């Protein structure tokens, strides 16, 4: 079960941890929608939702449809610095955000072609730059997808 300070299904495939909440979080809890979230917030949230879709969509080229139709059926956003016991992937975006997780012990290793992206497969932990186009380029998204794919993330 996710902490109450989150948005998305109770058993997602991946949780993205962010340090700030979107406007109107309460209105999205019962029926999370990427379109409604973006409409009620800034362009900043469009970028976050788009990168979340690009990384988690089972078929890379279908991320737009996935974002609008299924994103919050498979992923969640969490705003509390606590990682639950769910057997899901945990994505912490940004160095400043990672500092909020003082208790987190991990053995994350950098990807060969992207030292700014670290993965701990045993804990299903993904550490990346903040989910913004300037910091998380399409090249990095592709490398993250390759790493997650090697761990069977897109198999189900």
Query: Which of these, 120, 129, 76, 56, lies nearest to 98 by C-alpha position?
Result: 129
pLDDT for the residue 25? 83
Asked whether residue 3 carries a pLDDT value surpassing 80, the answer given is no
User: What global pTM score does this model have?
Assistant: 0.94
Rounded to whole angstroms, what are the CA distances from 103 to 18, 81, 83, 98, 121?
A: 16, 9, 10, 10, 18
Mean pLDDT of the chain: 92
Model pLDDT for residues 99-148, shown as the tens digit of each residue: 999 899 999 999 999 999 999 999 999 999 999 988 999 999 999 999 99
pLDDT for the residue 6? 87
Model pLDDT for residues 64-83, shown as the tens digit of each residue: 999 999 999 999 999 999 88
Q: How far is CA 6 from the centre of its chain?
A: 12
Asked whether residue 1 carries a pLDDT value surpassing 70, the answer given is no
pLDDT for the residue 4? 65
Lowest-confidence region among 8-12, 16-20, 58-62: 8-12
Here the tokens at position 124 are: 């299903």
Model pLDDT for residues 17-38, shown as the tens digit of each residue: 999 999 888 887 778 899 999 9
Asked whether residue 156 carries a pLDDT value surpassing 80, the answer given is no
User: Integer distance in angstroms from the first to the last C-alpha of the chain?
Assistant: 20
């Amino acid at each position: 079960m996710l902490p109450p300070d989150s948005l998305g299904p109770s058993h997602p495939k991946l949780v993205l941890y962010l340090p700030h909440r979107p406007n109107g979080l309460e209105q999205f809890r019962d029926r999370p929608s990427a379109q409604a979230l973006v409409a009620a917030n800034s362009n900043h949230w469009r970028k976050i939702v788009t990168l979340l879709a690009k990384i988690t969509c089972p078929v890379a080229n279908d991320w737009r449809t996935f974002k609008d139709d299924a994103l919050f059926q498979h992923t969640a956003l969490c705003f509390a610095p606590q990682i639950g016991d769910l057997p899901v992937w945990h994505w912490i975006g940004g160095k400043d955000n990672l500092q909020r997780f003082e208790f987190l012990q991990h053995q994350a290793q950098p990807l060969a072609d992207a030292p700014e992206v670290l993965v701990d497969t045993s804990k299903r932990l993904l550490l990346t730059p903040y989910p913004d186009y300037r910091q998380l380029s399409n090249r990095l998204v592709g490398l993250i997808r390759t790493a997650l794919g090697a761990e069977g993330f897109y198999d189900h």
